[in-house]
Structure 1
Amino acid sequence: MQTIFSLSTFSIFLIIVCCVSCVTFSPKEEKGQAKEQKPSCVDPSYVYCPNRTAIPSFGESDQIDIYYLTAPLLKHMLNNTLSYVNLYHSAIGFHHLASDKTYAIEYAVNNGFINLLEPIIYLNSTGQKEILHCDYATLCFSQQPIFPGIETYYTNATKVAEVTGTEFNTLLEWSKKYNLTHQAYRLFMVLKQWPNDKEIPFFDSVDCMDFTNAFIDACIEYGVHIVTEKVRRDYSLLFTLKPELVDISNPVYYNEVVKFYEELDIRGSGTWQILKKIVEMLYNFKFMRDLKGNYYRLTPIMPFVGNHYEMIDTHTNN
C-alpha cells in the first residue's frame, strides 16, 4: 500500500529527533562575535562511521551475496518507534561466503543531523555574515553483522543479488565514483505534488536510500544475478510551487536567506524552543540550496511536508 503521511506525522518525526538529539548540539555562537577564520563543521560529540573498515579485494571466483538492509530511523535512540510511520535508514550489506564475513556500505552525513539541518552563520574577518553549510556526506564501509539478531543494527536484510568477486569489485569501484559525485546530503525531494508519470521533482533528495537504490540500479546495469523482484524505500517530501532563484549578490535577498537560518538557530536552544522552531520551519520552509550552491525561494503548499513509502521494482533479470 502506498501512503503519504501528512504534516502532523512528519512533524512528530522531526520533533522526536530534536528531543533525543538536543543534548548533543554544539554550543550556540554569541551573536555579533567576530571571527577571523571560518568555523569548523566538526561536531566533537558526533562520531562518523565508528566501525570503519578497509575495503577488501575479492578473488575473481569468490561468491558474494548482496543484501538490501533497513532499520527504523534513529534505532540506536528510539528502537523501532519510527518504523510505525515508515521512516527507515538503509544500507547495502554483503556476505562473503568463503570467509563467512559480512559487511555494510552506507551513505551517511559526516557532521551530524543538526549540522545537516542548519548551516552555521558566522562573522568573517570584515564583520560580514557568511553561511557555512556542513552537509557533507560520504560512504561508510564497515565489517559488521547484517543478518537480523541481537547484535545487529539492521532489522531487515533482503537478499538482492548473487555476484562473483570480479562483479563485486566492479560495484565497489562504482560506489567510489558515486561518492565523488554525491558529496552533499539532501533530506528532501522538493515537488508540487507526489509525482506521477508526467511530473519531475524540482529537486531530488540525496540520502541513504537514494544510494542503496542507485546501487541496485548499478547491479542491474552490470547484469548481475538479481534474485528479488522488489524492495521498499521511503521518500521525505517538501511541497511547494515552482522555486524561484534568489540573486544572493543582492544584499537584501542575501540577508533574507541569512535571517531564515538565523531564526531556525536551534543550536544550544532548550527543548521547547527547538520544538517550536522546527514546527515553524515545516510550515514556512522559505529557502533551499541546490547542489550547485544556488539558493531558491520556496512557496510552501499543502500538505507542506510528507513521507511516501513504496515498493521499488528491481527488474529481476534471471
Structure 2
Amino acid sequence: MSSNHPDLLSYPLVGNVIAKTNDTKQCRRKKNRMFTLSVTVLITAWSCVYCKRTSGRQEWPVPYRRFDHRPAADPYCQALYPFCPSGESDGRVPRMALSDRIDIFRLQTPVWEFKYGDLLGKFHIMHDAIGFRSRDTGKNYTMEWYELFQLGNCTFPHIREGKSAPFWCNQGAACFFEGIDDLHWTQNGTLEKVGQMSGTQFNDMTQWVQDDNRTGIFYETWTVQAEPCPNSTIWFESYDCSQFVHRTYRKLADFGVKLSSAIQTNYTKIYLFSGEPSFLGNDSSIFEDAAKKALAEDIRNFYYAFRPHQSVKDFIISFIKLFDKVVLEKSFYLFYNFEYWYLPMKPPYVKITYEEVPLPSVV
C-alpha cells in the first residue's frame, strides 16, 4: 500500500486406404496396421502442435519487469511533498561495524495517519516499513519504500493535451533515514521488535536494497486474481511498500537472521478480480497505430474518469461511467510493465484485504 505521505491526486487426416486384395484377412490386417500407424502419426502431430502452443504460453503471474538503472524523472511529474526529504540525496546508507548488533523493528501505521488519524486503519489500509537500532551507537533508522510522486500518480495516468497516450508518473523507491518516529508508528499502528542481526548482515542487506532499488523502479497498486479464494490464479502481483518489506524479510532470512513476532503480521492488499487477461500492447503499438484508434480512445476515456481535481458534479459523472465500465461492461485496463492489458472483470470486482503473511524462517 501507499506511504504515509499526502497524495498529489484525489484518486488423420488420416487418409483413406484402399487395399486391392481378395484375401479378407490380409486386407483386414493391412487396415489394422494402417489404422495404428495413422493414429500414431496423428497423436505425434497433435503432440507437436500442443508443444508449440504450450511453449509460448503466458506465464502467470506476469513477472515484474526489472531494469538495469533508474531513469531520471520527467519534469512534468511533480510531487506535492518531496520524496525522502530526510534521507541522503545520493541514496547512501551508513555502514555498521561488523561486530555491532542491530535490532529490527516491524513498523506499520494507517495511510495518511498524520492527517486522518486511524480512519484509514479502520479499513485496514496500512503503510509498512522496517526500523533499525544500532546497539553500538544507539542510533535509530527507518527504511521504507513508497511512491516518488504519491499514490494517485502511480495508480492512474494523466491525460494530457497533445499526447495520444496516457502519461504516467510512476516510480517507487526505497527511502532510508535516521530516526524512528515512535509516536507516529505506535499511536494507531505497530512498532515491534522482530529480530536482531549483526553489522555484517546489516551491510549485506543494505547492498541488496540498493541493487533492488536500482532495478525495481515502478509502483504497482493492484493485485489481480481470478477468484477471491485461496489458491486462486494470480495474474499480476502488486509491487508496493508491503512487498518491499516482505522481500527484505526474506533476504534477511537468507542471511541467517531469525525473525519472530508476538502479534499477527497482517498486510494490506487491494485486489482486482478478473478472468484471464489479454495483452494489448505498449504506447507505440496502440496509440501510434491507426488501426487501433478505437482501442486507444477507449483506454483514454477509461482513465479520463480517474483524472484529478474534479468538481463534485464531474466526480459523480465519472463514478457512474466507471461503474458502467467495470461492473456492467466488466472491463478494466491495467498498465503493467509499461504495457496495457485488458481485464474481463468478475464479481466482487475490487476488494481490500488485510491478510496475514508470516515472517519467513531461516532455511
Q: For residues 296-315 of structure 1, what are the structure 2 equivalents within 5 Å?
A: 296-315=341-360
2:147 matches 1:109: yes
Aligned-CA RMSD value: 3.0
Q: Distance between the aligned counterparts of 1:99 and 1:280, measured in 2?
A: 57
Query: Equivalent pairs: percent with the same residue?
Result: 21
The match for 2:114 among 72, 76, 88 is 76
Inter-CA distance 316–286: structure 2 relative to 1 (3 Å threshold): closer
- SS in structure 1 at match of 2:213: helix
Instruction: Give 1:146 shift.
Output: 4.5
Q: Distance between the aligned counterparts of 1:72 and 1:201, measured in 2?
A: 26
Instruction: Give 1:255 shift.
Output: 2.2
Inter-CA distance 282–237: structure 2 relative to 1 (3 Å threshold): farther
**2:305 and 2:319 in contact (8 A); partners too:** no
2:234 matches 1:201: yes
Instruction: Give 1:243 shift.
Output: 1.2
2:143 matches 1:98: no
Instruction: Give 1:41 shift.
Output: 3.7
Inter-CA distance 177–275: structure 2 relative to 1 (3 Å threshold): farther
2:279 matches 1:245: yes
Instruction: Give 1:316 shift.
Output: 4.0
- SS in structure 2 at match of 1:286: strand
Equivalent position amino acid for 1:119 in 2: P
The match for 1:136 among 162, 171, 176 is 171
Equivalent position amino acid for 2:136 in 1: A
Q: For residues 217-236 of structure 1, what are the structure 2 equivalents within 5 Å?
A: 217-228=250-261, 231-236=265-270
In the alignment, which residue of structure 2 is the partner of 1:164?
198
Inter-CA distance 47–85: structure 2 relative to 1 (3 Å threshold): same
Instruction: Give 1:228 shift.
Output: 3.1
**1:146 and 1:153 in contact (8 A); partners too:** no
* Cα offsets for 1:103-128 (capped at 9, x unmatched): 1111111112332232122344xxx5
In the alignment, which residue of structure 2 is the partner of 1:289?
335
Instruction: Give 1:137 shift.
Output: 0.7
Equivalent position amino acid for 1:289 in 2: F
Q: Distance between the aligned counterparts of 1:207 and 1:94, measured in 2?
A: 20
Q: Distance between the aligned counterparts of 1:151 and 1:137, measured in 2?
A: 21
Give TM-score scaled by structure 2 length: 0.70
In the alignment, which residue of structure 2 is the partner of 1:31?
none
Higher strand share: 1
Inter-CA distance 52–297: structure 2 relative to 1 (3 Å threshold): same
- SS in structure 1 at match of 2:247: helix
Inter-CA distance 282–203: structure 2 relative to 1 (3 Å threshold): farther
Equivalent position amino acid for 1:170 in 2: D
Equivalent position amino acid for 2:332 in 1: K
Instruction: Give 1:162 shift.
Output: 0.7
Higher helix share: 2
In the alignment, which residue of structure 1 is the partner of 2:224?
190
The match for 1:65 among 74, 97, 103 is 103
**2:109 and 2:190 in contact (8 A); partners too:** yes
Q: Distance between the aligned counterparts of 1:58 and 1:154, measured in 2?
A: 31
Mean CA deviation greater in 51-60 or 103-112: 51-60
The match for 2:214 among 167, 173, 180 is 180
Equivalent position amino acid for 1:156 in 2: T
In the alignment, which residue of structure 1 is the partner of 2:243?
210
Inter-CA distance 44–187: structure 2 relative to 1 (3 Å threshold): closer
Inter-CA distance 224–200: structure 2 relative to 1 (3 Å threshold): same
In the alignment, which residue of structure 2 is the partner of 1:29?
none
**1:240 and 1:300 in contact (8 A); partners too:** yes
**1:69 and 1:154 in contact (8 A); partners too:** no
**2:130 and 2:142 in contact (8 A); partners too:** yes
Q: Distance between the aligned counterparts of 1:210 and 1:279, measured in 2?
A: 32
**1:231 and 1:314 in contact (8 A); partners too:** yes
Instruction: Give 1:290 shift.
Output: 1.4
In the alignment, which residue of structure 1 is the partner of 2:67?
none
Question: How many residues are aligned here?
Answer: 282
Higher relative contact order (CA 8 A, sep 6+): 1
- Structure number with larger C-alpha Rg: 2
Mean CA deviation greater in 202-211 or 228-237: 228-237
